[in-house]
Structure 1
C-alpha cells in the first residue's frame, strides 16, 4: 500500500496557498516529496484567476467582503475565475496516472464522488463543451472535469497542472457561499445557496467534510495517509520562492 502525506487544514491568503501547491508539485516532480492530499480555506476571501485568464472586470480589483478587500490571486492552473468565500479547497499532488487529461481528472475525482455520497450528495460530471472559455465565471458552466448536482448546478470546479509526470489537481467545493456576493462578483443571478444536509453541524462542518473525504481518498487510491504538517524549514522555502516570483 502506498503512503501519502496528509497536510492538515491551512487557512491563509490565496497567494500563499497557491505557492504551497506549486512548491509541493515541484518537490514531488523532483522525487523529494511523496504524493500529497491537503485541504485549505482562503483568508481573506479572494477571487482566483486561471493562469491564462487575462481579461476580467476592472471592478474586481476594488471589491470588499465584510469590510475587507477581496484578494485577486492567479492560480498556477488553468480555467476561469473562482470566488473563494464560504468554500473549501482540496489539492492532490500525484504522479504515475495513465490516460488522457480527462481520464486523470476522473480518476482523481473518484474520492470526491465517494466522499460526498457518504455526506448525502450525489455528484456527476458536467457536460459543457469548449464554450466555457468565453465565460469568466468558473462556476457558470460545468465541463467533464467538474462535478455537478442533480439539477446540473456546479458544486466542485477543478483545475490541473502537469510538470513532467507530476500532477497538481485542486478544486473549490461550494459550501456556504454568500449568494449576494457571488451575484455582485459575476453580475449574474445565482440560484439559492446549495443545501447541504450537514449544515446543521455548524462549526464542525469542515472537519466532518475533511474527515469523510480523507477516508474516501484512502479507499479510492488504496493508500495510507500520514499526517505531516508543513515544517518551519518548508514554510521558509515556500515563502522564499513566493517572494522570487
Structure 2
C-alpha cells in the first residue's frame, strides 16, 4: 500500500438533491490523482428522495415516467451500472482510491469483497448476523442476474441479513482509479420505489430489508458515526474530515449544469 493510504479524506456532505449528489461523486472521481491524492470517503443523504438509474438503463424502458412525474420524484443517472434504486431514508457512501491504496485484491470482483468489508464490520458492530450472498444463498439461486430493480436480484458480494439484501453497492474503474458507492437503508422504501417501475410485481421488493426492520434505530447520525468507526478499524486507517476542494466544487457545478441537470443524460444516458 502507498504512503497516501494510511489517511483517507472524509467528506461529510449531508443531504443534497440527486443531481447534486451524482455530480459531486463524479467530480471526486475525475479530480482524483492515483499517485498524489489521498483516498476519499464521502457520506451523504438525499433530499428530496430520488430514483437513480444504472449507467446503462433506459428510463423509458424501466420506469413509469408518468407516475414519476405525478409523484414529483426526481430521476438521476449514476456513473455505475446496476439496477434502479429509490433513495430515501438512507446513509449513502462513495469512495475513491487507487488499487495500491487498499489491501491486494485477486480480481476486480474480489475488490468488491475488500471494499465492502467495512459494511460487514459495521453491521456486525450493530449486532446483526450478516453474510455475503455468495456464502449464504442456496445452490439453486442465480447470482449476478441483471434485474431492472436493484433489490430484485443479488450479486455475489451483496450483503444479506437473514437471506434478505440490505442496501446495494456498485463500482466503476477509470484510468487506474476505483470508484464505489452504495446505500445503507435506514427504513425500507423498496416497495415505494417499486411503485415507480414499469414492472411492479410485489415479489420484486420482498428480498429487501432495512436497519429499522432489524431492530436498529433508523437514525442517520448514529449509523454515520458507527460507519466511520467501522471503516477506520476495518482498513486500519485514519479518516480526516475535509471539505470538497475548490477544484471538486467547480467541477461538480459544471457537471450539474451540463450533465446531471439534463434529461438527455438522466433519462437517455446521452451527454448534453
Instruction: Give the TM-score normalised by the residue count of structure 2.
Output: 0.78
Match of 2:115 in 1: 108
Residue 53 (str. 1) matches residue 40 (str. 2): no
Q: C-alpha displacement at 1:111, in angstroms? A: 0.5
Q: C-alpha displacement at 1:18, in angstroms? A: 1.1
Q: Which runs of 5+ in 1 are unaligned?
A: none
- Conserved? CA contact 2:20–2:256, under 8 Å: yes
Aligned Cα root-mean-square deviation (Å): 2.4
Match of 1:226 in 2: 240
Q: C-alpha displacement at 1:129, in angstroms? A: 3.9
* Residues 95-125 of structure 1 deviation map (CA, whole Å, 9 limit, x = unaligned): 1243212110000111100011111222211
Residue 147 (str. 1) matches residue 159 (str. 2): yes
* Residues 53-109 of structure 1 deviation map (CA, whole Å, 9 limit, x = unaligned): 126335245426xx9611111100011111112222111111124321211000011
Instruction: Give the TM-score normalised by the residue count of structure 1.
Output: 0.86
- Conserved? CA contact 1:76–1:161, under 8 Å: yes
Cα pair distance change 1:30/1:59, threshold 3 Å: same
Cα pair distance change 1:130/1:197, threshold 3 Å: closer
* Residues 25-60 of structure 1 deviation map (CA, whole Å, 9 limit, x = unaligned): 122246453201121111221111111112633524
Of stretches 205-214 and 31-40 in structure 1, the one that deviates more from structure 2 is: 31-40
Secondary structure of 1:69 counterpart: coil
Match of 1:82 in 2: 85
Match of 2:137 in 1: none
State the distance in 1 between where 2:233 and 2:86 align: 30
Q: Which runs of 5+ in 2 are unaligned?
A: 135-140, 260-272
- Conserved? CA contact 1:145–1:157, under 8 Å: no
- Conserved? CA contact 1:6–1:228, under 8 Å: yes
